[in-house]
Every structure is written in C-alpha cells, then in structure tokens.
Structure 1
C-alpha cells in the first residue's frame, strides 16, 4: 500500500478529508457555537451537557481534532477508542488526527496507524501524504520520501503546492539543490505574472537555497503592487540572506500600507534576533507598544531569542515570566524549549526544572524533547536525576536510543554519590 519497510516517522494545518458522508448527524441544525464552548470541557462533562440527539459522529470528530491539535495524547486516544465503541466508521480524517498527533509526539506510533488503515482499507487522502512526506523529509530519508511520492501518484493524487513546497524544503535541507530548483521551476510554471499568488512561496524557497538573484527576480514580478504576504516573504528572505536594510525597507513600506499585527512584526523581530541586533529589536518592540499593537506569542518568542542570542538567558526568562503574569499569555512551546535548552547546556538543574514545570502549568503535554533537555541538564551538572524514569513512565513517555544512553550516564552519578558517602 503506502507503508515502506523503513519506519515512517515526521504541523500542518488540519485539512479534513471526508469519507463521503454529507451529514454526520443527519440534520443541518447542529449548534456549532455550543460545540466550541464545550471543547475545553472534559469528555464526561461534555457528553452530559450535549443533548442526546447531538452526540453523533461530527461531535466526536471535532473533539478528536481539537485534542490532537492540543497535543493531548490521552484525551485523543480515549476519544478515538470511544468512536470505535460507538461503531463510527474509520475514515482518513480520523486516522489523520492520530498521525498528526504522533508525528509531533511519538513518531514510532505512526506505523501502527498506517497498518490499521491498511487493515481497514482506509484510503489515504492528500493530507495523509503530506504528513508522511514531511515525516520522511524530517529524518532526511529522501529515498523514502520519494517512494511515498510515487505511491501517491500511482493512487491518482497529484502533488499540490503545499506538497511541492515540502519537497523543495527537504531537498534543500538535504543539500540536493538541483532537485529543489527543479521543483521550484515546476511551481513557477510558464507565466508567473498570471499566477502572482505563487510569488511569496517562491521568494521564501529561493531564499532557503541562498539564491539572492532569484529572490530579486521573483520580487520584481510583484513589486509594483505586492500583497502583504509578498512583502513579508521578501522581508523574511532578505533577512535570511543577511540583507537587513532591504528587509527593513520593505517592512516599512508594508507597515505604511497595512495595519500589521504582532505576528507580522515578529518576522522583522526574528531577523534582528538571528543577527544579534538587540538594540534594533528593543526599538521595534517599543514601536509596537507606541502603536498600540498587542504583543502576542510570536513576538515574545522572537524577543526571547533576541536576548538569548545576546547571551542574556536570565533576562529572556524574566521577560517571559512577566509577560505571562501581566498579559495572561501562553508562550509557544518552542519559546519554552529555547530557554530550557540554554539552562540545560549550563547544567542549571534548578532553572531547567522550573521551565519544565512551567510548561506543564501552561497546559503542554509532556514530550520526549522536554525530558531530553532535562536529562541533559543533570548530565552536564554531573548529578543524579532521581526518579526521572518514573516521571517519564507516568507521562507515558518512553526513551529513544539517545535519551536511553543519557539516562545510563546520569544514573552512574548515583553510584558516585553513594561511594562519596561511604568514603
């Protein structure tokens, strides 16, 4: 089918793949506003609150997607099993939620989902293939990625722009620039002026390849009347190519034409962070505040990186804690991980544990990457990590090879600690 002998492991926007059922509840008056209000409830509270006549497949599908989107493994698996108990049909949409979840949290389980799909004769849709292609590319398994692509074509599904973009990114990451450029030529087609909506994608992808001339060529196609995404793509591209003045010029043009939000400002802020330009970053934040722009998670993420690149880890941590308290803001997972890894590399166990628990308080489900960073902190501090295996087990996290090796190293510190007591 579409499974290969090598493990298939590797977020994309949820794209429902319907199984042909036009109405999961057999009626058109489903109260969606009620559903969205109930999404944060426990499953038991929800099923007790929703009228019996509305407890159909659509309700459970939406709950499944919501829990998977929040990276809540236990809740997602409970809802999936409940759907099986209720004899709802297994669809590509349902399986995609599990694939998306495991892609982020436990890639080894993706193979189990694929085997289930094969056993139940559930055909993968284009979103399924996007997940598999991205996973293969993530692990630099280019041969496996191309095998999945060929299988997809045999099944009669042609690659869309999102898949072509994925292919180009992974070819570039693998150093296969010629293959990446071939994909970019396919995306561009014969007449880019008639398909100007492709400009932003092409600008970003050529920047990944380091092709400044191609970035400039594509930018000139839309420069006379660019859209906001074209401008931000160009800002991002010139920043990546270390042409900061060009990036700033285009950003200023965009900010005068449109009212940009915090997420869009974070594009320029991240450029300053990547180039260790702390003063310019602080000035941009002040400009945002003076303009009354709400500083959201993307901007805080860039600001944290800005201070960390400047070597001010404690300052980055302090700013983030103040932002959480003052604005009741939930930081991005990657923001926490950036700080956690900095403390981990220092062997700062106290602050590593503090960030680890802050992530849990923010509602993030435990992942192997968090434990990996935490164990590394103990390893670098050369102190034993008492109870770390039990903590992982209670969170249903199982060590991969790399983490298992580090666990052995930190457990050796227990013996040293005991021998020191006996000396």
Structure 2
C-alpha cells in the first residue's frame, strides 16, 4: 500500500513543530531570560520563575518583558510568551499598550485558536485601546487562519476608521488572497492601493509570488516593469531574488538569469552582502547553472569573510545539483577553517550519503563530528534512522530515534519534529504496513505512550 504524496504535509499538520535556534544577543544579555530559557516544555509554567525574580528584589520593566516576549515568539514558544504577557499586566500591574494587546492577540491565536482571539477582542479590549495595531493584529489572525470574509470585514473597518493609510494592512489582505488563489480579488485590491498611493515593494513581491503560482508569465513581466519604473519603490536584492524565482517557476530561465545579474549589481550597495550572495548561490543552483554557482562562490570568498551560514548556502546549493563530490570539497574547506562545529554542515553530507546508500560514510561522519566536539542535531540521528530503515535495521533505527529525542527540547517529545522526520522516511518507502510496524516497535521500546501509538496508527490508516 502506497502512502499518498501529500502524506508529508499531513504529518506536518498532525504534529506541531519546535524551534531549536540559539538565543539572540539581546536575550543572552537578559539574565531573566537565561532563567526562563531552560524551561522548554510548554506544559511547565514560567510564572514561578518570574515570581522568584521579583521576590529576589530584582528590577523588571516593560521593555525587558517585551524583549523576552519577542524572543520567546522567535523560538515558537508561544504559550510561555503569552504567560509573560499576562504576568506583565496582571502581576506587575503594567498597563498594556496598544502594541502589547496586538502582540497578545497573536499569541492567543497560536495557543488557543481563533475563537479565543475573537472573545478576547470583543470582551477584554476597551474601545479606546482598539487602535491600528489591534485591528491589524485581528486582521492578521484571520489571514493566518485563511478566514477571508472575516478578514475582509476587518479591513473594511480599518477603512471606515481611516486606519488603512499604510501598506501593512493591505499587504496582509493581499497575501491572504495569494494564499487562497483569489487572483481577481488580489488585482482589485492592488487597484485600490494604487489609487490611494498606498503600496510598497512588498506589495509587488506578493504579486510576483501570486502570478508565479498561477503561471502568469505576462503578469510577472508587468510587475517587474512597474517595480523598476516606479520612483517610489527602492528595489533591493530580495526584490530581484523573488523576481528571479518567479520567472523560474514559469519556465522563463533567460529572464530569471537577467534578474540574477541585476541582483548581483546591487551587492556593493547593500548592507547585507552575505545574504545577497546566499540568494545568488541558491538561485543559480535552482537554475542549473553550476558554472555561475562556482563563480559567485569565488566572488563571495574574495569580497567577504565566510562563516558557517555561507558554507551552508554553498553546500545546499551543490546538493541541489546532486554534486556530492563538490559538496565534499566545500566541507573539507570548512573543516580546514576551524570554525565552530555546527552539525548542520556535516548534516548535508550525512543525508546525501544516506540517500545514496553509503550508510558507512554517514556513520563515520557523525562519529568524526562528535570527536571534534560537535553536538549532533535531531536531524542527524533521523538521517541515520532513515538509513537504517533503508537497510531493514529497525533496532538501530529505534536507537537513533531515541538519541534524537534526547537532544530535543522536552516540548518536542515524542510527537513532533523527530518522529515526523523519521515517519517521512517511511513515507519515502511508500509502505503503510512497514510504517505501522515501525510505530509499534517504537511503542514497544518505550519511545512513546500507548495513546500516542494509537493516534499515529489511526492517522496513518486514515491516509491510506
């Protein structure tokens, strides 16, 4: 029995994902955040940590709490961010600003859903605080849930209150139309925005993505021409990158390459040159232009000091072209630099070796990385688990999965990133019976509970 091609997306919807990125420099300087950060399980409240901070007589203010909320949102720790938001007003008696309420609505959506957002807006936000940010947040919540009619209703309220004076709210609605494929409504909204002079470069890039999705090459031509001729629009590298990608999606390779040349011409004037080089590497690889890919890599090394993100961009681009040998050479170059051992970099080769049936090389690379002081990531062990499954070594796959779980934050045990990734490998095998057998084996080994076991089996069977 073959699993459906959409099963990967279904699994992604079935499991919620957890970020494992490192805190920003702002959060690292915040000693209260350093206390909160280890509490990774959303089932555990961080309110006791906040209360203890106050009992110690330590200072705490709005800006510090807002910084913590932003950082928690960045790492998708929405429940904890919402706890901080409520604690700020309910325990510290700091009156919420309109921006605080707008942020809280977004967090309520992530934690409790749209119905609770509506209840909070209707019952707890006084009319005097229902400013532009609050209505825009409500609009964004409806857009996130693809609730077109309600989003349109809020947009009309913004118009009636004369809040719709910036491109932000229009762009949110336009992006919703793009997401649901309503090109006619998108075009009508753009006409309104043009009449009001209320648009920016993001407006045009949303249109580019929409026309690419609908295979409208003439529409892309028109938007590119308007972007380049409108004196109000200051184009940057990302604008040309999106245009190039749009042309590739509709098969206009020559026009895509023209956009990439223009992107390259902006490198010297942009403040984020490394990002521009990453765009070029990725898109030349997508275009199949290996010669240009290596030319840009050489230029990148000549103009900038390359760190881990640069090697990640180059190695992923080479693997887009199935150039494992070239990827190995870049990996060797990275090793010779002595940069911090980021396992995302060997992961590219570990996965490539696994996919090509060279499991021994994948295992050796993992061991080598550990010996050099690196910490394998969730995907590292999942790649190995997939390789073991390919060679019918289910017990080793279970061991690898257990190791993956140990490096996950508690909030991702066991029904999130790790299990999803490993089940996607089973999907690649196209065998539902084998997926069921593997899930049962994990249950028998104590990886997860009987209730999760039953839910997974029901989900897999439902996808048959």
CA distance 1:355–1:50, change in 2 (3 Å): farther
Stretches of structure 2 that go unaligned for 5 or more consecutive residues are 1-25, 37-48, 249-254, 349-376
1:161 Cα deviation (Å)?
A: 0.8
CA distance 1:92–1:182, change in 2 (3 Å): same
Task: Measure the CA separation in 2 of the matches of 1:369 and 1:247.
Answer: 36
CA distance 1:99–1:352, change in 2 (3 Å): farther
1:237 Cα deviation (Å)?
A: 0.7
Is the contact made by 2:175 and 2:206 (CA closer than 8 Å) also made in structure 1?
Answer: yes
> Which of 145, 149, 172 matches 2:151?
145
Matched with 2:246 is 240
Query: Is 2:282 the counterpart of 1:289?
Result: no
Matched with 2:60 is 55
Query: Is 2:164 the counterpart of 1:158?
Result: yes
1:274 Cα deviation (Å)?
A: 3.5
Alignment of 1:205-354 (within 5 A): 205-208=206-209, 209=211, 210=216, 211-221=219-229, 227=234, 229-242=235-248, 243-258=255-270, 260-295=272-307, 297=309, 302-303=313-314, 305-307=316-318, 309-311=320-322, 326-327=339-340
The TM-score with structure 1 as length reference comes to 0.63
Alignment of 1:99-114 (within 5 A): 99-101=105-107, 106=110, 108-114=112-118
Is the contact made by 1:273 and 1:281 (CA closer than 8 Å) also made in structure 2?
Answer: yes
The TM-score with structure 2 as length reference comes to 0.58
Matched with 1:22 is none
Is the contact made by 2:82 and 2:107 (CA closer than 8 Å) also made in structure 1?
Answer: no
Indicate the SS of the match to 2:155: helix
> Which of 48, 70, 85 matches 2:75?
70
Is the contact made by 2:78 and 2:107 (CA closer than 8 Å) also made in structure 1?
Answer: yes
CA distance 1:149–1:55, change in 2 (3 Å): same
Over residues 103-129 of structure 1, what are the superposed CA-to-partner deviations in whole Å (9 max), with x where a residue is unaligned? 5xx464453344234332354544444
Is the contact made by 1:304 and 1:320 (CA closer than 8 Å) also made in structure 2?
Answer: yes
1:70 Cα deviation (Å)?
A: 2.7
Tell me the C-alpha RMSD between the 2 structures: 5.2
Matched with 1:120 is 124
CA distance 1:173–1:97, change in 2 (3 Å): closer
Over residues 154-203 of structure 1, what are the superposed CA-to-partner deviations in whole Å (9 max), with x where a residue is unaligned? 56532631222222222133222222122223333477xxx9xx563344
Aligned residues: 361
1:246 Cα deviation (Å)?
A: 1.0
CA distance 1:146–1:35, change in 2 (3 Å): same
Matched with 1:38 is 31
CA distance 1:387–1:95, change in 2 (3 Å): farther
Is the contact made by 1:276 and 1:310 (CA closer than 8 Å) also made in structure 2?
Answer: yes
Matched with 1:8 is none
Alignment of 1:366-381 (within 5 A): 366=412, 368=416, 371-378=419-426, 380=429
CA distance 1:121–1:215, change in 2 (3 Å): closer
Moved more, 143-152 or 262-271: 143-152
Task: Measure the CA separation in 2 of the matches of 1:57 and 1:340.
Answer: 41
Over residues 120-141 of structure 1, what are the superposed CA-to-partner deviations in whole Å (9 max), with x where a residue is unaligned? 2354544444444344444443
Is the contact made by 1:71 and 1:364 (CA closer than 8 Å) also made in structure 2?
Answer: no
Query: Is 2:170 the counterpart of 1:177?
Result: no
1:233 Cα deviation (Å)?
A: 1.0
Matched with 2:363 is none
Task: Measure the CA separation in 2 of the matches of 1:345 and 1:114.
Answer: 43
Task: Measure the CA separation in 1 of the matches of 2:380 and 2:230.
Answer: 39
CA distance 1:325–1:91, change in 2 (3 Å): farther
Is the contact made by 2:382 and 2:404 (CA closer than 8 Å) also made in structure 1?
Answer: no
CA distance 1:372–1:204, change in 2 (3 Å): same
Matched with 1:408 is 458
Task: Measure the CA separation in 2 of the matches of 1:352 and 1:151.
Answer: 54
CA distance 1:155–1:261, change in 2 (3 Å): same
Task: Measure the CA separation in 1 of the matches of 2:338 and 2:402.
Answer: 17
Task: Measure the CA separation in 1 of the matches of 2:404 and 2:331.
Answer: 11
1:283 Cα deviation (Å)?
A: 3.7
CA distance 1:144–1:217, change in 2 (3 Å): same
> Which of 384, 387, 394 matches 2:438?
384
CA distance 1:249–1:138, change in 2 (3 Å): same
